[in-house]
Structure 1
Amino acid sequence: MAEAIFWLCLLLPVYAYLGYPLLVALLAQASRPRPSPASAEPPTVSVIVAAHNEAEHIGAKLRTLLGQDYPGERLQILVASDGSTDATVAEALASGDPRIEVLELPRQGKAAALNAAAARARGEILVFTDADNRWMPDCLGELMRAFADPQVGAAGGHIEILDGGPHLGLGDQLYRRYETWLRRAESRAGCLVAVDGALLALRRELFRPVPAEANDDFFLSTCAPAAGRRIQFAERARVLDRGVDEAGKQFRRRLRVTVGGLQSLACRRALMNPLRHGRYAIALLSHKLLRRLAPLLLIPLLASNLWLWDAGAFYRMLLLAQLGGYALALAGLLDRGRRLPKPFRLAAFLLVTLAGMTLGLWQFLRGQRYSLWTPQQNR
């Protein structure tokens, strides 16, 4: 029994984090590149920025949006202030540009702010973005190229972390690169699961109101496959962001993302039917569900490995590797002087991430949900 538990708890995480990405990479290599449709007239765009107490960032954000190399008459910018108590609204109104509309809303949560802004949007394409990241000047134009293909219902850009920070930010930076590689492969294989909310575009007719307890980026992305359309990764649409360096913030971020992600999967459970959605359903199960369940298996993996100490050299070697990895991570967490080499910080990032995901799964099963957001706590 201990051996069966051991192999089950080992192989599922290995598949989720290594086997599935390799499978998608092979599918991507075997897929024929889709021909680029002829460029049509640029679509009208409504850029939606949900903000809560973003006075520090909103001015610079709006300047990057207004500075896009895109026809100005085809651009609408909506700032949805979710009960901000600082100068967010005043800063957003300061430019006086008629393309900017500010919605001063009561505090209800990010989903309600996005839904209110989407109801006011006039553009053919809705583009959702955060207040604290910066777009490259050609970002919007490159993102809109994806919609020349009528089968594309949603698209996302390439998020670059320029300054990860001296501690856990290094792991955050490398994890984003791994996610970028995986999204590129999924997009080419025709089964891109979702894109990052820092830059997410959706055809307006596909928009559905975001549930209060769901992860908005995942829910909005999946509006496309729910309608039989594809999600595309627009790699040349670049957004500059920053990593999360502090352990506490990384833990809280992963906790909330896990709870919201599982709630989102519950809302979109129909998409996990391979008989109806084919390889997209398999990608969704592998990328989103199994990955979130995998951290919970690490505890029985360690316990069964202890039980199997006398079963052979292989089991002893793997147990020592597990214990060594946890020791490496704990040393990295305690290294406040940042003197230890990078592997210690990477192990610390993994431990904090896995701990946040495990607690997030537990909270989801207990019925804990998050509807309000305070973005400053997770930066």
Structure 2
Amino acid sequence: MENAYYIFFLLSLFVIFWGMVGYSLSIKFLGKVYKNKKISKNYSHQPTVTVMVVAHNEEKVINEKLNNIVNLVYPKDKIKFIVASDNSVDKTNDIVEQFILENPDKKIRLHKVKKRLGKTNAQNEAQKLVDTEFLVMTDANSILDCNSIKELMASFSSDEISYVAGRLDYLNEEEGSVSQSEGNYWSKELRIREIESRIQTITAGNGALYACRNSEYYDFEPLKSHDSNMPRYFALKGKKAICNHDAIAYEKAGEVITDEFKRKVRMNRRILINILPDLRILNIFKYKWYSYFYFGHRTCRYLLWISHLVLFVSNALLIFNSWIFTLTFIGQVAFYLLALLKALTKIENKYLNIVYYYSVTVIAQWVGVYNIITGKAKPFWEKAESTR
């Protein structure tokens, strides 16, 4: 039985290390190996585009968003706009309709989703109304750089590229410990994705800004977000999902931990399935680097919740076998106590913030698992007011 404890300890330790440290180090190394491999752009590629904005009760930001997208730098005869209002019950629809009346020269359409089933369902419905070659999707609270559409379209330099994600920059990264922690995490994430993109394909996008060929759009079920499912869908079809970090969207990060926690819980609403959603991913001979990317970037991270529990329990059972196990157990207890200290005292300290933010991330995974098991996982969520 003791041998089993050793195995569980080592496996869980490996998953945590590889998901949070090892994989990112390996990607940095690969980035140096493939330093001469660049993503090509073709700025003469200017197909017809529809920019889709999904909104639910976004009266605070929707007018600014509309003014933003109609002033994007792109041939006016090749760009259209559609707002998919996901059963909004505030003034969102009124504001959009008024904007359409005041801007008759802009090709803007409002689609009202009658039953709220979340962002993905709203996108599925609105996509049926799109007749352009490409579809760009963006969140209501994201402000796009004026050249973002031009950049996204330039990235579709070959038929094998089916998805392009832009870069999300946080406007308030330095305004608080929560936004700082999220900003720091996201900066590292962007560097990893840039290298994955250059080598082959990314494992996930972001909801603030991304594009796909309209003919290749797929109706995912409402619980599945495009962020994680579109890149995987195209990768398994032998296509590429890449990122262009010159296509920029600006957004506020969550400034209070409750908002950030809710967002992370929502992100984990399908965590059990996403650990290994398709056995084909393991076929490294067919999918090459993507198999490696998904295991390190997704599978290991989606296993953090259970890995920490297994590591703690197996370590406790081995604590008297060696001074090494005694030290590692003390280290784990100290780590969680530091997170608790931060939660109770709100002390501002860089290292405490990192420990606390990481712990919140793992707890959010546990809540996501609980919601799945109890049937409480939903395709929609309440927006974070601190990001508006």
CA distance in 2, matches of 1:135, 1:264: 29
What secondary structure does 1:290 align onto?
helix
What secondary structure does 1:192 align onto?
coil
1:378 shift after superposition: 8.2
> In the alignment, what sits opposite 2:243?
233
1:18 shift after superposition: 1.7
Residue 115 in 1 paired to residue 119 in 2?
Answer: no
> In the alignment, what sits opposite 2:361?
353
Cα 1:169–1:230 shift into 2, 3 Å: same
What secondary structure does 1:56 align onto?
coil
1:262 shift after superposition: 4.2
Contact 1:50 1:114 in 2 (8 A): yes
1:261 shift after superposition: 4.6
Structure 1 segment 287-298 matched on structure 2, within 5 A: 287-298=297-308
Which of 84, 98, 101 is equivalent to 1:94?
98
Residue 344 in 1 paired to residue 352 in 2?
Answer: yes
> In the alignment, what sits opposite 2:164?
155
1:275 shift after superposition: 4.3
Cα 1:250–1:267 shift into 2, 3 Å: same
Contact 1:24 1:189 in 2 (8 A): no
What secondary structure does 1:123 align onto?
coil
Length, aligned pairs only:
377
The code of the aligned residue for 1:348 comes to: Y
> In the alignment, what sits opposite 1:20?
23
CA distance in 2, matches of 1:200, 1:214: 16
Contact 1:293 1:361 in 2 (8 A): no
Contact 1:219 1:264 in 2 (8 A): no
Contact 1:43 1:124 in 2 (8 A): yes
> In the alignment, what sits opposite 1:274?
284
> In the alignment, what sits opposite 1:251?
261
Contact 1:58 1:132 in 2 (8 A): yes
1:47 shift after superposition: 0.9
Residue 3 in 1 paired to residue 9 in 2?
Answer: no
1:294 shift after superposition: 1.9
Cα 1:344–1:319 shift into 2, 3 Å: same
Cα 1:242–1:298 shift into 2, 3 Å: same
Contact 1:82 1:106 in 2 (8 A): yes
Structure 1 segment 288-327 matched on structure 2, within 5 A: 288-327=298-337
Cα 1:349–1:102 shift into 2, 3 Å: same
Cα 1:267–1:20 shift into 2, 3 Å: closer
Structure 1 segment 53-68 matched on structure 2, within 5 A: 53-68=57-72
Residue 80 in 1 paired to residue 90 in 2?
Answer: no
TM-score (norm: length of structure 2): 0.90
More displaced 10-residue stretch of structure 1: 269-278 or 19-28: 269-278
What percent of counterpart residues are identical?
23
Cα RMSD for the two superposed structures: 2.2
More displaced 10-residue stretch of structure 1: 210-219 or 161-170: 161-170
Contact 2:274 2:299 in 1 (8 A): no
1:375 shift after superposition: 2.2
Residue 136 in 1 paired to residue 145 in 2?
Answer: yes
CA distance in 1, matches of 2:378, 2:125: 19
Contact 2:275 2:303 in 1 (8 A): no
Cα 1:325–1:360 shift into 2, 3 Å: same
More displaced 10-residue stretch of structure 1: 35-44 or 320-329: 35-44
The code of the aligned residue for 2:353 comes to: R
The code of the aligned residue for 2:369 comes to: L
1:77 shift after superposition: 0.8
The code of the aligned residue for 2:17 comes to: V
TM-score (norm: length of structure 1): 0.92
Runs of 4+ in 1 over 6 A off after TM superposition: none
Stretches of structure 2 lacking an aligned partner (at least 5 in a row): none
CA distance in 1, matches of 2:344, 2:263: 20
Cα offsets for 1:126-184 (capped at 9, x unmatched): 11110001111112212221112332111111111121342322211111112111111
